[in-house]
Amino acid sequence: GKMDQAWLEIIDRLSVEDAIRMRRTCTKIDNLVSKSLKSKKHLDIELDCPSAIRSSNAIASVIAMNNISAQCSHNLQSLDLKIRPANAKYAIVSSDVEIRRRIMQSINENSTKLKRLHIDRCRISAGAIGSFGDLPDTIEEISITNSMIECSEWDVATIIRKSFATLFQKCTKLKYFEISGRSLNNSHFHVDPSILQYISNTIEHLAIAVGNSLRIDNLAFLKDKKLKTLILQRSFISPCDLEHIVSMSDSITHLDLSYSPNLLDCQKIAKLKNLKHLSLINNRDGLRDEALSLIIKECSEIEELSLDNCESLTIQSMIFLGSLKNLTKLSLSGVINVNDAVCQQISNCSKLKFLDINYCLKIQTRGIQCLLSCLTSLIHLEVLGIRAYSHQLLTQLAYYPKSIVSDSVHSFTFSIPPIPPSSLKNSSIQIFDSQDNKSREKNNWNEEHCEDLSNNRTVVDS
């Protein structure tokens, strides 16, 4: 009836733990809670089951999480094992929460309709990774980010390799796969890149950024793929491998090849006509003026461009940045040849909302003024290390960015309310009294000291 529907509305707004506690009240509520849990399609462990991550060791709470997962797994399609940091600077560091084999076994046995699994900032045991091959074939999204996986023995690495190979072979509907994070890059986790050949051709988003843990030195596994997003940070691909990416030019819109030391020529990227997001961070030698000029000319629809620390770039290519009319985000941190002329061209990008020019030391006051006065859509600006910038430049502007990151030191004034006369009088009396006490103590000390001196003199005379 209507009352049952009202109770279901209330139960649906509760966390899973509160709902399970509520079912103890009576048989009717117990049935309604069971109905609500069985219809639940999304479960976020940290939000819905906070006690599961309350302890650092989390062994007992992991078992509790298994029970909760089993009760609401009838139609569960999305599961988040994310540990959100209290401070944003720890977002890339693994937490102490552990994901062990029993957790994955519970998911595999109970969540038979699971489509999405996201793990972030957890410590994943080798046994848990070994159970990935038993995930249901309904999986469409898998994400493992900023987590720690420890496995140093060869036989354990072999189990993990077989587990991933089995997972890719059985999940024929896989659209999203991500494994990234510095914690993975710095651990003993190693996977043979040959397993990537088993990834289904249905994949649309592929992100791998774990360096030597999954060493990618060729892109043959991309054959017959139609990716929309490709993120391969810290890979070891060469310029000839770009042909595999060019073959996806009709579909690919996001490309990130940052930190690729062997990528010494990026001109083939210009063949990706539909590219909207491009990141080539820290490719110090690979990205040169010829490549950037060609990319800007051919990929005119780019909306986000990140070229941090690409030191080989000069004004000859960066002068064309102003022709990217759809640009909303531009990052040039550490590009030493950015000067006022480049800033003048960037000011033509009227849609720009985010601009990072940290440590572009050749920029002078004129360039900063040009950016601030022309970029009326700018929301965020970073100007660390630029001495020409000061907050005084903002005083004559009708509009300026909501957030500015700088190391500019400026003084500010503030008013102090007047001190009531009564308080002033009391304080002056206290000060006088304290001074009077100090003078009394000083006189007493002098008298005692003089007596001691006189006594000593008497002894000597005698």
Work out the number of other CB atoms within 10 angstroms of the CB of residue 383: 23
Per-residue model confidence (pLDDT) at position 394: 86
Per-residue model confidence (pLDDT) at position 104: 86
Tens of pLDDT, residue by residue over 265-291, are: 999 999 999 999 999 999 988 899 999
Given a cut of 70, is residue 370 above it in pLDDT?
yes
d(CA 149, CA 191): 11
Per-residue model confidence (pLDDT) at position 72: 54
Given a cut of 80, is residue 420 above it in pLDDT?
no
Given a cut of 70, is residue 152 above it in pLDDT?
no
Residue with the larger pLDDT of the pair 40 and 179: 179
d(CA 300, CA 293): 11
Per-residue model confidence (pLDDT) at position 299: 95
Tens of pLDDT, residue by residue over 306-357, are: 999 999 999 999 999 999 999 999 999 999 999 999 999 999 999 999 999 9
Tens of pLDDT, residue by residue over 385-394, are: 999 998 888 8
Where in the chain are the domains? 1-39, 314-413
**Sheet containing 98-99: which strands, arranged edge to edge?**
98-99, 123-124, 148-149
**pTM of the shown model:** 0.79
- Range of lowest pLDDT (152-161, 198-207, 256-265, 300-309): 152-161
For the record, the structure tokens of 171 come out as 């999940």
For the record, the structure tokens of 300 come out as 């005119």
d(CA 204, CA 251): 9
Per-residue model confidence (pLDDT) at position 455: 44
Q: How confident is the model at residue 427 (pLDDT cuts 50, 70, 90)?
A: very low
Per-residue model confidence (pLDDT) at position 60: 32
For residues 43-58, give the mean pLDDT: 66
**Inter-residue contact 140 to 164 (CB < 8 Å):** no
- Range of lowest pLDDT (79-83, 312-316, 396-400): 396-400
d(CA 222, CA 143): 19
Per-residue model confidence (pLDDT) at position 256: 97
Show the 3-state SS of 305-360.
EECCCCCCCCHHHHCCHHHCCCCCEEECCCCCCCCHHHHHHHCCCCCCCEEECCCC
Q: How confident is the model at residue 32 (pLDDT cuts 50, 70, 90)?
A: confident
Per-residue model confidence (pLDDT) at position 116: 94
Per-residue model confidence (pLDDT) at position 456: 41
Query: Over the chain, what is the mean pLDDT?
Result: 81
Per-residue model confidence (pLDDT) at position 461: 34
Could you tell me which CATH number the domain at 314-413 has?
Answer: 3.80.10.10
Q: How confident is the model at residue 360 (pLDDT cuts 50, 70, 90)?
A: very high
For residues 36-49, give the mean pLDDT: 78
- Range of lowest pLDDT (133-142, 343-352, 410-419): 410-419
Q: What percent of the chain has pLDDT over 90?
A: 46
Tens of pLDDT, residue by residue over 183-217, are: 555 555 667 788 899 999 999 999 998 877 778 88
d(CA 210, CA 185): 4
Per-residue model confidence (pLDDT) at position 117: 94
Q: Which is nearest to 286 in space by CA: 305, 313, 306, 304?
A: 313
Give the CA radius of gyration of the chain.
Answer: 32
